[in-house]
Amino acid sequence: MAKASEFLEARDLTRSFGGVLAVNSVSFSVGEGELRGLIGPNGAGKSTLFHLISGHFYPDKGSLSFYGGHIEHKSPAARAKMGISITFQAVHLFSGMTVLENVMVGAHTWTKHEWIEASFRLPRCRREERSIREKAMWALEMVGLDGYKDYLAETLPLGRQRALQIARALCGMPKLLLLDEPASGLRGDERRELLSLLEKLHENALTMILIEHDVDFVTQVAERITVLDQGQVIAEGTPDEIRNDPLVISAYLGTAISHEVI
């Protein structure tokens, strides 16, 4: 298992937009198999940092390494092939396609056959199609959606659509899964199901970084939590350490009056 500095390491990542410093010299590392929480008030820079990791934004300065290799200027597609996958808060589904077909799309990061092989149904294409279907069914079983494989994806309720997004990411065989507010908009039972799913994935040694506004949700599942405020890391530690950190309390409440709400 790779150490934190050997798996994912950010050093002085900085990104600005029109003079606004969204991420300001952020440094942190995540170990292989870890479930890391990333929290902060609105405008703290969480989403920008996520996009710097996924490749949708490039840093103005600083470095990002994955398994020891620099990736800060690699495209999102290149990072996906390296094993970095992201699920977004806004659910992105392929309407008119079944749940199983939606998940199979996630295999694009590791398939090797060319379009001409697919056109003529050549042997490698047929072998990979069988492998894709098997991997997609495994992913659906992991998230508890195997019984919905033939449903149209858009007919699922929000909680199951979020699980579907995770299954599609799993079909790509990620080494690192970035989860952008997966609990947003979910109700009690849906949130508990999501929590159980993340715990299950963590038990299977999948490395995850979880952005959430709901600090209580993050503290129930994350091993360690990194806290951003105004583009900078203001705290990092275990859930208990974060709950009692005065800088974190101040960032969320405006004054360190009580840690009970976080």
The identity of residue 234, as a single letter, is I
Task: In whole angstroms, give the CA distance from residue 166 to residue 140.
Answer: 9
> DSSP E strands: which ranges in the chain?
8-17, 20-30, 35-39, 61-66, 69-70, 84-87, 176-180, 207-211, 224-229, 232-237
The identity of residue 262, as a single letter, is I
Q: Classify 1-83+175-262 by CATH class.
A: alpha beta
Task: In whole angstroms, give the CA distance from residue 41 to residue 14.
Answer: 19
* Ranges of each domain in the chain: 1-83+175-262, 93-173
Classify 224 as helix, strand or coil. strand
Query: Of 208, 184, 198, nearest to 144 (Cα)?
Result: 198
pTM of the model: 0.87
Contacts for 8 with CB less than 8 Å, ≥ 6 apart: 29, 30, 53, 64, 65, 66, 176, 207
Q: Are 66 and 161 in contact (CB under 8 A)?
A: no
Tens digit of each residue's pLDDT, the chain (262 residues) = 676 667 999 999 999 999 899 999 999 999 999 999 999 988 899 999 999 999 999 999 999 999 999 999 999 999 999 999 999 888 889 999 999 999 998 886 755 544 434 443 546 666 778 889 999 999 999 999 999 999 999 999 999 999 999 999 999 999 999 999 999 889 999 999 999 999 999 999 999 999 987 888 999 999 999 999 999 999 999 999 998 899 998 887 654 433 334 4
Query: At 230, phi and psi to the nearest 5?
Result: 50, 40
Classify 163 as helix, strand or coil. helix
